[in-house]
Each structure stands twice: as structure tokens, then as C-alpha cells.
Chains A and B, each alone.
Chain A
Amino acid sequence: MKYAAPTTIDEARTLLAGDADAIVFAGATDVVPQMRAGRPEPSMVIDLKKIDRLMSVSLDGDTWQVGAAAPSSALTSNAAFAADFPGLAEAAGLIGSDQIQNRSSLGGNLCNASPAADSVPALVVNDAVAVIAGADGERRVPVADVVTGPGQTSLAHDEIVVCFELARPAGRTSDAYLRLIPRTEMDIAVVGAGVRLTLDDSGSVSAASVALGAVAPTVVRVPAAEAALVGSSLDDASLAAAAAAASDACSPIDDKRGTISYRRQVAGVLTRRAAGIAADRIRTRNGQNGVS
């Protein structure tokens, strides 16, 4: 197995295009354990961490550009980013230990294509766009359209996720991500729920996004839960309707981490709680400084 550390996207793509068995990696926090578990060694591992654009986290006008290989700790330690996307920062901060968060990346979490990836529901509710470099230049794809099934993505072999574009939340908008694991740290989601809300001046929900992880082959957006929340004042009946819609949207598996019926129920509970947290964040922020 060869190791390559290109410093440009073109160089990385050329290496990838020239070797059908090569793979790219950032933190290798999934790649190495998979190889240890018997995944055949690729002919070449292409390290993306020497490419500046894949490692940078920056605000460009009203759009955050998050390098696909930037470590999770670069997001959780970025106060301005975490203020704009507290739920996404939390999701990134839930993945593994400090040791892992210094290597794990949003690009890796997405392209590993685990149904239980923590950052993906949080990216999806924030309408994150993946910038993908390929033979014909760059294309922009909603994050929700990148993963097509467990371990499967819509990327061609010679395509690389370069970065994620996240528009700064406008007005009274915030997000939250919750996951259930059987302990407090270092585990894989039984269910994950991301919610983003926008409140109008009267406190009613004017926009809502809900996405669930670990309850289907891919992260699922839940339009019925969003519809239940929009126009409401987050009263009990609306939250219960959103929770029921979230439970209904699940098509989970039974496994050692949770049964089908348990996952369905927890999806509803986490959706409801995450909605409450997102709303509290909006109210607190507006209460503190009077502007959104």
C-alpha cells in the first residue's frame, strides 16, 4: 500500500483517477478500523490533510466554508461557528473521544456513509451543500443527496468532497442535535435527531427542518414533522404531532443497539426535545442581545 499526500485538489484527483483501488482519507478513524476488521487494503491511501482548502474553516460573506478534512475539534473550538450552528458543532463534538475529534472530519463522516453518522442530520437540517471536485470541475450537491445507502455514496471514484457551504442562519434561527446512546460518551447513535427552527416575532415557528439518523439506511428528512411544527407556537399538541411524524418516518433495523420499536419511539422523543432546545436557543439569544 502506498501513501500519498498531495497539496492540491487537482493532484489528489489525478492520483485517484489513475488508480481504481485508491481511496482518499482525512482522519482515517473509520478507514483504519475497517482495515483492521478485514477490509482489503487499498493500493493507495491519499491523505487530504495537506490541501489547505480541505482543512480551512472560514466565513466568506454570509457563507461558512468548512473544509471536508478539517478536524471536528476545529469546529467545536470555533466560537463564531458554534454560535451560528450550535447543533452542528455539538454533533461534531459527539463523535468519539478528544483523540478522535482531532482527526475525524465532516467529509469523512459523510462519505463513510454510516446511517448513524452524527454530523449528517445536523448538516441536512442546515441545508448544507457539499462542494464536490470531479473531472469537469466542481459541482454543488445538497448533503442529503450524497449518501445513497449504508457505505454507499453518489460520488464517482475520482470525485472528492472539498468543503461544505453553510449559509449563516438568517433572523431568529437556530439548530439542535440530540442522540441517544446507552452511556454518556464514546458510542454510536441508537437514534440521532437534528432540528432547525426559525421563529417569527410572535414566537411562532415560521420554518422548520427535521432530520433523523440511525433509523433508516440513510439520514431521513421528515417533512411531516416539519409541517406539524410550522405555524405552531411549539405547544404540546404540535410537538406531539411532530414526534409522531418522526416516529412514523423511521424504517430502522433491530440490532444490538436498539430494537425497531424502541428506535421509533426514541426518534419522536428526541425530535420533540431537539425542537425545544433550538427554540430556547433562539429565545435566549434574542433575550440576551436583542438582535438575531
Chain B
Amino acid sequence: MSRTHVNCEVNGDAVDFLTEDGESLLNALRDELGLIGAKEGCGTGDCGACSVIMDGRLQCACLIFAPEADGASITTCEGLASADELHPLQQCFLEGAALQCGICTPGFLIAAKALLDENPDPTETEVRYALAGNLCRCTGYDKIVRSVLEAAVQIRTPA
């Protein structure tokens, strides 16, 4: 089994890890770097629970071979909050009860961040399409969509 030394930036920090070549970036994040926010739901790119932003693009970490991350810049849900303050998306998810079991939440947060980075004022339809790659079996989605829309307002008009 081949192992590769990977250097990359995760949530603004330079990191390096050793990985088996066939390992997924998701497992490397969780097992080598201890970043257990991103989850494996399906392992086939359907559920979005492992969503990360790599080099500016929202992707499923379960479909990325860990060595692909060499030289890349990655944002996971652990990179959303600042030192003592939750990201508006996180705060709005809490206040809007946009989660129940929470397995899908890190993926939804990252997908929503990718959307708001591109489109700070999305319509409800745009939010629903942007989150179509993230499955939630608890909430029925409505509270998630409303929380993303509320976070968009807060980010556009800081208190």
C-alpha cells in the first residue's frame, strides 16, 4: 500500500499528514487531523454530509482521494466560527432549530457558506437548489432553508 505525504491548508492553518493513496480526504480529515465535523453518510457523493470547500469549490470529501489535497486550501465546518463567536449560519441554525440529530448539519453549513460566498442574497428557490446535494432525514428542510435565508440577511446587514 502506497503512502503519500500531503501538505495543505485547512481552515487557514498549514497542516501535513501521511495517508494511504486510496484513502478519502474525508477519512484523512477525520482520522489524521481530528476534524470530525464532516461525516460519512453515504460514501458515494449523494448525501453531502462530508461537504467541504476545496480551492473555492464545494465538494464531497468522500469522493476526493486524500493525496489530491496536496497544495490545496480546504474549509471544513470547524473553520466557520471565529475564536469566540459562531458564524451567522451556525447561530441561525441554532436559533432556527435547523437540526435535530445533527449528522447532516456540518455539510449543510458548508454548502450554505459556499452559496452565500457566491450569492449573498439568494432567493428561497436558489437556496433549495444549492442545498439539493445535502440530505436531511429529520427536519423536512424548511427550517434549514429559513435559517440560511436569515443568515444571509445578517451577513448582508451586520448588527
Residues of A within 8 A of B (CB): 1-3, 5, 27-29, 32-33, 36-37, 41, 45, 47, 49, 71, 73, 96-100, 102-103, 185-186
Give the CA-CA distance A186 to B64 in the complex, in Å. Answer: 19
| Given A1-B21, A45-B65: A102 and B58 interface contact (C-beta under 8 Å) | yes
B10 contacts A by Cβ under 8 Å = no
Among residues of B, the one whose C-beta sits closest to the C-beta of A74 is B57
Partner of A2 from the list B2, B48, B70, B134 (CB cut-off 8 Å) is B2
The answer on a CB contact under 8 Å between B133 and A98 is yes
The answer on a CB contact under 8 Å between B114 and A98 is yes
The answer on a CB contact under 8 Å between B44 and A33 is yes
The answer on a CB contact under 8 Å between B65 and A29 is no
The answer on a CB contact under 8 Å between A1 and B22 is yes
The answer on a CB contact under 8 Å between B132 and A97 is yes
Q: Please give 4 more A-B residue pairs, beta carbons under 8 A apart, in addition to A3-B2, A28-B63, A186-B133.
A: A1-B1, A29-B63, A32-B44, A102-B58
Give the CA-CA distance A100 to B134 in the complex, in Å. Answer: 11
Q: List 21 A-B contacts (CB under 8 A).
A: A1-B2, A1-B21, A3-B2, A3-B21, A28-B63, A29-B45, A32-B43, A32-B44, A32-B62, A37-B44, A41-B22, A45-B22, A97-B133, A97-B134, A98-B58, A98-B132, A102-B57, A103-B59, A103-B64, A185-B129, A186-B132
Give the CA-CA distance A98 to B133 in the complex, in Å. Answer: 7
Among residues of A, the one whose C-beta sits closest to the C-beta of B48 is A99
Q: Which 9 A-B pairs have the closest CB atoms?
A: A97-B133, A3-B21, A1-B22, A33-B44, A102-B57, A185-B132, A3-B67, A99-B133, A2-B2
The answer on a CB contact under 8 Å between B111 and A99 is yes
Whole-angstrom distance from the CB of A84 to the nearest CB of chain B? 23
Give the CA-CA distance A36 to B45 in the complex, in Å. Answer: 11
Partner of B21 from the list A2, A29, A49, A186 (CB cut-off 8 Å) is A2
Give the CA-CA distance A186 to B47 in the complex, in Å. Answer: 10
The answer on a CB contact under 8 Å between A28 and B65 is yes
Interface residues of B in 63-81 (CB under 8 A from A): 63-65, 67-68, 70
The answer on a CB contact under 8 Å between B21 and A98 is no
Whole-angstrom distance from the CB of A150 to the nearest CB of chain B? 19
Whole-angstrom distance from the CB of A92 to the nearest CB of chain B? 15
The answer on a CB contact under 8 Å between A99 and B51 is yes
B60 contacts A by Cβ under 8 Å = yes
Give the CA-CA distance A33 to B40 in the complex, in Å. Answer: 13
Residues of B within 8 A of A (CB): 1-2, 4, 21-22, 24, 43-46, 48, 51, 57-60, 62-65, 67-68, 70, 111, 114, 129-130, 132-134
The answer on a CB contact under 8 Å between A96 and B45 is yes
The answer on a CB contact under 8 Å between B45 and A32 is yes
The answer on a CB contact under 8 Å between A71 and B57 is yes
Whole-angstrom distance from the CB of A185 to the nearest CB of chain B? 4
- List the A side residues contacting B57 at CB < 8 Å: 71, 73, 102
The answer on a CB contact under 8 Å between A100 and B65 is no
Give the CA-CA distance A2 to B44 in the complex, in Å. Answer: 20
Whole-angstrom distance from the CB of A203 to the nearest CB of chain B? 34
Give the CA-CA distance A3 to B59 in the complex, in Å. Answer: 19
Partner of A3 from the list B4, B58, B133 (CB cut-off 8 Å) is B4
Among residues of B, the one whose C-beta sits closest to the C-beta of A37 is B44
The answer on a CB contact under 8 Å between B68 and A102 is no
The answer on a CB contact under 8 Å between B60 and A100 is yes
Give the CA-CA distance A33 to B130 in the complex, in Å. Answer: 22
Give the CA-CA distance A162 to B8 in the complex, in Å. Answer: 28
The answer on a CB contact under 8 Å between A3 and B45 is no
Whole-angstrom distance from the CB of A226 to the nearest CB of chain B? 33
Whole-angstrom distance from the CB of A275 to the nearest CB of chain B? 26
Give the CA-CA distance A185 to B125 in the complex, in Å. Answer: 12
Give the CA-CA distance A97 to B114 in the complex, in Å. Answer: 13
- List the A side residues contacting B22 at CB < 8 Å: 1, 3, 41, 45
- List the B side residues contacting A5 at CB < 8 Å: 67-68, 70
Whole-angstrom distance from the CB of B52 to the nearest CB of chain A? 9
The answer on a CB contact under 8 Å between A47 and B63 is no
